[in-house]
Amino acid sequence: MGLACNEVIPRLVAWQDGELSPGEATQVSEHVAGCAGCARAHHRLAITAPLPPPAPPAAVQRRLAAAFDVDAILAAAEAPEPAVPPAPSWASAAWAHLARPSAVPRAAVLVYLALLAAALGWGASNWWALRDTGAVALDPAHPSGAIPASQFRPAAYDPAGDPEDARRADPAP
Amino acid sequence: MPRLRVVSSPASLPEDDEIKAIAKRDRRTAADWIVRKYRDPIFQHAAWILKDWEEAIDVAQDVFIKAMREKRFFDPDFKMKAWLYRVTSNLCFNLVRDRRRRSAILEAAPRSELLPRATSDEPEQTEVVFANEQQKRIMHAIDRLTEAHREILLLRYYSDLSYAEISDTLGIKLGTVMSRLSRARGALVEVLDAQGVEMTMG
């Protein structure tokens, strides 16, 4: 049974390169002989086949020959391998990423990082300040910081509570 | 269609297996044969990727030093030729990528921050390679393909490796060599068609 066009097309290059088995090569050549479309595709590929470039100029060949000395190569191979530079750390990788030309100017990234650091610092200092006043004291019984709803009592309804709370509470009507 | 293979090595050069046998007694002589047999092809493969003779000479030297450093290089089942081409390809495409990255950074930086560029990054030598206009156009079209397509086309048509050798070099299956080459040649036809140049046989 012969090959269909969609089986022949992907084999044309290998056929031209002489890399098909004799059986397959026969099937392809029989198909191409009887199919105008595949014959055209074959011709298009054949006329665009790259050919090896000629040898480099004589001057280059002389430089190449002069640069190659088997004893020098063996000596270089015997020598300890050049120290491999350490793998880039994540920080230098990040810097390289920033340093590469991109749509985001590097200055903008630096400004953004500075603002982010400032905001975080401001938040942290506020938190510590509040914590020192006891306003956000963590309950040792609830280290996660989650305080059961039952412990939240509006000060106004807890006259027996902390005097501080009692003072802040609205005076009874 | 009969396969035209370019005979690139004179008959006097020993087969890889003979070189491996020599290496058992005399590593230096074996190294000498390896250099004599593969120096030019490896240099040319590097030059076709890099488009720069001097850089290609440096890479070729590097490849042979790495080869002699490789403990298994003369082992009976070691694929010397595929190894040499693979290492060359990898070194060269890394250099091409570095070059592209460098020139992108140079392009992006304000001119005043830079010292004047002594030499252009653009290689000059490919123009002298082909006297044949059509093959020159084909070479330029290959340059515009993806790295994988460029690599496989150079290995097959410029370095004249067989599909089996390409399979060893790239570490891909024979069927993948066939399909990738078919797609690469298709892409090449498209680039040439887009340029609207009438190609002729020969």
Residues A3-56 pLDDT 10s: 999 999 999 999 999 999 999 999 999 999 999 999 999 999 999 999 999 888
Q: Which of A36-45, A122-131, B184-193 is predicted least confidently?
A: A122-131
For residue A129, is pLDDT > 90?
A: no
* DSSP notation for B151-186: HHHIIIIIS---HHHHHHHHT--HHHHHHHHHHHHH
Q: Tell me which residue of B23, B41, B21 sits closest to B32, measured CA to CA.
A: B23
Angle at B187 between CA B120 and CA A4, to 5 degrees: 165
Q: Tell me which residue of A14, A15, A45, A46 sits closest to A30, measured CA to CA.
A: A15
Q: What is the pLDDT of residue A100?
A: 65
- A155 CB within 8 Å of a chain B CB: no
For residue B121, is pLDDT > 50?
A: no
- Chain B residues in contact with A45 by the CB 8 A cut-off are 185, 189
- B140 CB within 8 Å of a chain A CB: no
Quick: pLDDT tens for A78-111: 887 766 666 666 777 676 666 666 556 677 778 8
Please indicate whether, in this complex, the C-beta atoms of A50 and B65 are within 8 angstroms of each other.
no
How far does Cα B11 stand from its chain's mean position? 23
Q: What is the pLDDT of residue B126?
A: 47
pLDDT category at B40 given cuts 50, 70, 90 is very high
Nearest to B68 among A12, A29, A77 (CB): A77
Nearest to B157 among A44, A51, A74 (CB): A51
- CB proximity list for A72: less than 8 A, separation 6 or greater: none
Q: Count other Cβ atoms within 10 Å, centred on residue B51.
A: 19
Q: What is the pLDDT of residue A87?
A: 64
For residue B8, is pLDDT > 60?
A: no
Per the confidence metrics, is the pTM higher than 0.80?
no
pLDDT category at B181 given cuts 50, 70, 90 is very high
Q: What is the pLDDT of residue A51?
A: 93
For residue B33, is pLDDT > 70?
A: yes
Quick: pLDDT tens for B43-92: 999 999 999 999 999 999 999 999 999 999 999 999 999 999 999 999 99
Nearest to B142 among A50, A70, A77 (CB): A50
pLDDT category at B117 given cuts 50, 70, 90 is very low
Q: What is the pLDDT of residue A43?
A: 95
- Chain B residues in contact with A52 by the CB 8 A cut-off are 6, 157-160
What's the DSSP call for residue B123? -
Mutate to test the interface with B, among A11, A31, A64 (most CBs of B within 10 A): A64
Please indicate whether, in this complex, the C-beta atoms of B179 and A10 are within 8 angstroms of each other.
yes
